[in-house]
Amino acid sequence: MTDMSHEEAFSELAAVALDAVSVEVGAAVRAHAAVCPECGPELAAMEEAVAVLGQLAPDQQMYGGRAAGIRSRLVMRARAERDVQPGTETGSADLSRGVASLAGLGHKITPVSQRAVGTDAAARRVTPPGKVPPMRTVRPERPERNRSIMGWMALAATLALIATGVQLMRVSADRNSIRAALATRDSSSREDSLLAQIAEKDAMIAAMGGADVKMVSLATESAQQPHGKMFWNRVSNDWMMITYGLRSPKPGMTYQVWLVTDDAKISAGTFKPDAQGKTVMHANYALAPNALRAVAITEEPEGGMPAPTGPMIVVGSATL
């Protein structure tokens, strides 16, 4: 139905506003309404009434960090689409979908054989030890810009985006596993525990996926284990570090995280990995946006040290 009379179209306006007609009829009515001074405003008014009905729905709120997680995924996808191929809508969309798919952003992913990130036991909010130097604000630098550097920066940004995507995929898979477990819950206490874990994972996704998040890859020189990632939300100054493959520190020793700037090595806290060598660690520390040069982990005496003294276990440059 492509050629519709005014009377026919007018009689279908209510159904079109409710989306209760076929695609063909809807298209024909809308085509007519677009040029009809009577049907156009009438259809718009009816559609607005339908939308007001939508606002009458009883208030519902998403659980825990899910709302923040969705927000972060959306902004990250939009940012990726904008950054990767600006001005080329189709290409950028395709690449964005690829990254989104990699990160498990567009759709739910199957958690089979995915590597779990941390455990509740390993996930802890770390308070920097008492020996931590006072907070300081470092004046942001203005990096020299030339084509070569820009090219490397673009490459590094792309790699960082993909790495973040992989990390997000792991955490998303973890969250979906918990959701699956929740579907077969057998007690309210277990349900509460699983819901809390979902909120934890969603918060992690939000922390890793935001538009203002900088990521630092941590590795040894040989690029073998141990390794990890540090995510820094430069707006909230929340830090999250995930490590893999760390052996337990020697008796009486602990691992200590350092935020390295031009003129200081700032302790971000101490930690010990779980039995599998995994760690998920949160911290909050205000730092000027471009002040961070590197992130390092050293082995230090229990309680931490005011400055690094022990061997460097892993390090990652923040200037790429």
Partner 1 sequence: MSYSRDSGSNAEDVALIRRMCDSDETALGALYDRWMRSLYSLVMHLLKDADEAEDVVEETFWQAWRKASTYEPSRGAVSTWLLTIGRRKALDRLRAKRRQREEPFGSDRTFADLPSPSADPLQNAAGSELRRHVLTALQQLPAEQREVLELGYFGGLSQTEIADATGQPLGTVKTRMRLAMQKLREPLSMHRQGTV
- CA dihedral 94→95→100→103, nearest 10 degrees, is 150
Give the one residue of 5, 7, 37, 61 binding partner 1; rule: CB under 8 A: 61
Residue 53 binds to partner 1 (criterion: CB under 8 A)? yes
User: Cα separation of 107 and 320, whole Å?
Assistant: 30
Q: Which is nearer to partner 1, 78 or 159 (CB)?
A: 78
Q: Which region, judged by CB under 8 A, interacts with partner 1, from 46-54, 250-258, 274-282, 292-300?
A: 46-54
Cα separation of 240 and 228, whole Å? 11
SS3 8: helix
Residue 315 DSSP one-character state: E
Largest Cα span, the chain = 86
Query: What count of Cα atoms within 13 Å lies in the side-chain half-sphere of residue 115?
Result: 12
Asked if 62 interacts with partner 1 (CB under 8 A), we say: yes
Instruction: Report how far residue 289's alpha carbon sits from residue 164's, in angstroms, rounded to the nearest whole number.
Output: 19
Asked if 170 interacts with partner 1 (CB under 8 A), we say no
- In the region spanning residues 211 to 240, those forming contacts with partner 1, defined by CB under 8 A, are 211
By CB under 8 A, residue 22 contacts partner 1: yes
Size of the site for partner 1 (CB under 8 A): 50
189 binds partner 1 (CB under 8 A): no
Contact call for residues 172 and 109 (beta carbons, < 8 A)? yes
**125-154 binders of partner 1 (CB under 8 A):** none
Give buried/exposed letters for 26-52 (b at 16+ CB in 10 A, else e): bebbbebbeebeebeebbeebeeeeee
Q: Which is nearer to partner 1, 21 or 215 (CB)?
A: 21
C-alpha dihedral, 174 to 177 to 182 to 186, nearest 10°: -120
- If one asks whether residue 299 binds partner 1 (CB under 8 A), the answer comes out as no
Regarding 66 and contact with partner 1 (CB under 8 A), the answer is yes
Q: Which of 37, 58, 251, 252 binds partner 1 (CB under 8 A)?
A: 58
Pick one of 27, 36, 46, 307: the residue that binds partner 1 (CB under 8 A).
46
Nearer to partner 1, 118 or 209 (CB): 209
Minimum Å gap between C-beta 124 and partner 1 is 23
**Which residue, 179 or 282, has its beta carbon nearer to partner 1?**
179
φ, ψ (nearest 5 deg) of residue 280:
-125, 115
Q: Which of 37, 86, 130, 311 binds partner 1 (CB under 8 A)?
A: 86
**Rule CB under 8 A: which residues touch partner 1?**
11-15, 17-22, 42, 44-63, 66-68, 70-71, 73-75, 77-79, 81-82, 86, 93, 108, 179, 211
